[in-house]
Amino acid sequence: MSSADGPERIFAILLAAGAGSRFEGRLHKLQASLRGRPVVDWALAAVISSDVAGCIVVTGAVLLELPAEAIVVHNPLWATGQATSLQLGVVAAAERGADAVVIGLGDQPFVTTRAWNEVAGSAAPIAVATYAGVRGHPVRLHRSVWPLLPTAGDHGARELIAQRPELVCEVACTGSGADIDTMEDLHTWNSSTNSP
């Protein structure tokens, strides 16, 4: 996909700042082991393998061991809600000349590289991944809609998507938008031999 000035520059934003309060394990859920690797590593590996120009990881509640390829942005206001993390990610992308961002969550380990690429490749101002018809992540936001994003509260792009349906395109994806919220979720996936 190209703009008048050449190919679009698209950055991924992986939100990994929340407390994970529903997860009652010894470690933060993003650090917990899923099939031998931390949960966040699965999500990050899919992004890094994709065609995006770079991956911005917004951290907050817990320090994460992240690879050198990750552009780490710490959100000191993480406890105030997801909107501040999204805003920090968008600012970091804008500083790097991004035309669009593709947003995902650090606790969704089964979103595939293909899903990241297919959503990133949409020409719509807002593109949303779907899994078996259910909307999920990643979500692509062209820079033209960034001013419409919330600046406070615990909402990311969800409100914008609801308010401006005419801008939204759904992208059917393989993989799964399942997240790891509880110890039960983690045990279920660790005991399963099937891919999601």
Total number of domains constituting the chain: 1
Amino acid (one-letter) located at 123? A
Reported pTM: 0.92
Task: Answer yes or no: is 23 within a domain.
Answer: yes
Q: Please, which residues have CB within 8 angstroms of residue 148's CB and are 6 or more apart in sequence?
A: 160, 163, 164
Give the three-class secondary structure for 18. Answer: coil
CATH code: domain of residue 145: 3.90.550.10
In a domain? residue 196: no
Task: Let me know if residue 163 belongs to a domain.
Answer: yes
51 sits in the region (left: phi over 0; alpha: psi -120 to 50; else beta) called alpha
In a domain, 119, yes or no: yes
For 78, the domain range is 7-191
Query: 28-57: per-residue pLDDT in tens?
Result: 899 999 999 999 999 999 999 999 999 999
Residues 6+ apart with CB under 8 A from 188: none
Q: Is residue 148 part of a domain?
A: yes
Is the residue at 177 inside a domain? yes
Window from 50-59, 89-98, 179-188 with minimum mean pLDDT: 179-188
User: Is 1 inside a domain boundary?
Assistant: no
